[in-house]
Amino acid sequence: MSIGALVLAATALNQEFVGARTCGKCHPSAFEVWKQSPHSRAHAALPKENIQDPRCMRCHGDGDADRGAVQCESCHGAGRYYAKRHVMKDRELSRIVGLEDVNEEVCRRCHTEGAPSVQPFDRERMWGHISHGREPKTSE
């Protein structure tokens, strides 16, 4: 895939993002975990010379907390179609329209052998930095 095609694909995907703040309205504890995690700072961690490099931006995001960056939808899939409360309450429907269950394969989309890192990816060790669960059920 050419760099131009990657940029177009990323732009189209960003239009499907609702952003971490939208997710945080219904998932406040997960949002707080994200804000304290390395994912929320991944874009800022890039050296300035890498900001325009599509190979870096594919995982580090564009720094836009409303649509891009490394945020909820980077792992759970673009939320345009599943972010509505009535969809999220339906496990099967939410997955049909894009919600992804996160497993190691999802992590390895970015955490690869080719990613510049001081330490190899260890999901069990890394999970502690981003681990979050579901919000307590409400009577709605």
What is the domain range of residue 36?
3-130
Amino acid at 32: E
Which residues of the chain are modeled with pLDDT < 70? 1-15, 62-68, 118, 136-140
Report d(CA 111, CA 102) in Å as an integer: 14
Tokens of 134: 């579901």
pLDDT at 85: 93
pLDDT at 1: 47
- Asked if residues 102 and 130 have their Cβ atoms less than 8 Å apart, the reply is no
- For residue 108, give the CATH number of its domain: 1.10.1130.10
Asked, for residue 135, whether it belongs to a domain, the answer is no
pLDDT at 11: 45
Q: What is the DSSP letter of 118?
A: S
Token pair 């309450």 in the structure block, residue: 89
pLDDT at 76: 94
Question: pTM of the predicted model, to two decimals?
Answer: 0.76
**Total domain count for the chain?**
1
